[in-house]
Chains A and B, each alone.
Chain A
């Protein structure tokens, strides 16, 4: 399976490979930040409405 993926990856032109790696890096950072933002808003509402 990994060999198959590697052979497909090697077929991709080098310039496109660089672009895809850059996009992947942006996604790896940006998506968890967006999720963190979404759930911090929820945490904030829970903290503000907390009743002991």
Chain B
């Protein structure tokens, strides 16, 4: 025991979270390192596609933010088909990964690309069905209208009547972003790093940015569709509602988003990676049937005008 403890202390090296006070300058140092590193293009790679693939992965992740409402009226483009826009753009991200895997001319990259394509397409179906449930409950595809339809109290938020869809959407979001425990597309121990194994420098940094931007996007979309968006959790509770009335909506939406982001980090630190066939089975044989079943339940709820959510 003392020896293992001594070894632990020896192995506690200066890691990548120590630059600056409390490690606050580490991201700047990492960014600078990636910008200054050479982008190596493999000899037999398709140069054009190799270079354009990281951009194809990042651009949809950023474009989705145009329709995200941060508070009442705080949205760049308040379009009526916001939900459709998000669905359409989030499915575009997979092209960047497939093209990166193919253009690299590497077996590991190609295997990773195939895995991520199959995984993202599979989980997109479950995510799409979960969003159909939200659409039925809210009666609108406008994201601001979806938030407003959850107004009342935290019991009016859609997490309660759509609980299975909420869980499916968030877990499918984990899979969609290729995050642990669904990171079979990268799987260091199996296929080295998957689709981005041949990428270095800024090109790799763009894939990295895309993954994390997608993570934040999935978290804020979950908040908007199931956790009342910018609405206060104390709404409708006598005493507390007035006490927290001074807190602006953007603080609530960001706080809820941070909570979900913490879950992303926590899951990565906690769960081991799924086997590939388990990932596929969960998507096709568990999530899709659950979402279809719950859409029928919502249909009954809407027809029967069950309050306070569907009246």
Give the interface of A toward B (CB within 8 A).
25, 29-30, 33-34, 36-50
Contact = CB atoms under 8 A, between A and B. Distances in A.
A40 B16 contact: no
B27 to A, nearest CB: 4
A29 B28 contact: no
B213 interface: yes
Given A25-B76, A29-B65, A47-B269, A42 B23 contact: yes
B66 interface: yes
Interface of B: 15-17, 23-24, 26-28, 30-31, 62, 65-66, 76, 208-209, 212-213, 215-216, 261-262, 265-266, 268-269
B17 A37 contact: no
B141 to A, nearest CB: 21
Nearest to A50: B269
B212 A48 contact: no
A42 B27 contact: yes
For the residues of A in contact with B, the DSSP-based class is helix
A41 B27 contact: yes
Nearest to B25: A42
A38 B25 CA distance: 10
A48 B264 CA distance: 11
Contacts of B76: 25, 29
A49 B216 contact: no
A18 B106 CA distance: 45
B216 A42 contact: no
Tell which of A41, A46, A48 has the most Cβ of chain B within 10 Å.
A41
Contact of B265 (A25, A36, A43): A43
Contacts of B262: 47
Given A29-B76, A36-B216, A37-B212, A48 B27 contact: no
B209 A37 contact: yes
Given A30-B62, A33-B216, A49 B17 contact: yes
Contacts of B216: 33, 36-37, 40
A48 B213 contact: no
B212 A42 contact: no
Nearest to B217: A33
Contacts of A42: 17, 23-24, 26-27
6 contacts: A37-B209, A38-B31, A41-B30, A42-B27, A45-B17, A49-B17
Given A30-B62, A47-B265, 20 more contacts: A29-B66, A33-B62, A33-B213, A33-B216, A36-B212, A37-B213, A38-B31, A41-B212, A42-B23, A42-B24, A42-B26, A43-B265, A44-B268, A45-B16, A45-B17, A45-B23, A48-B265, A48-B269, A49-B15, A50-B269
A20 to B, nearest CB: 15
A31 to B, nearest CB: 11
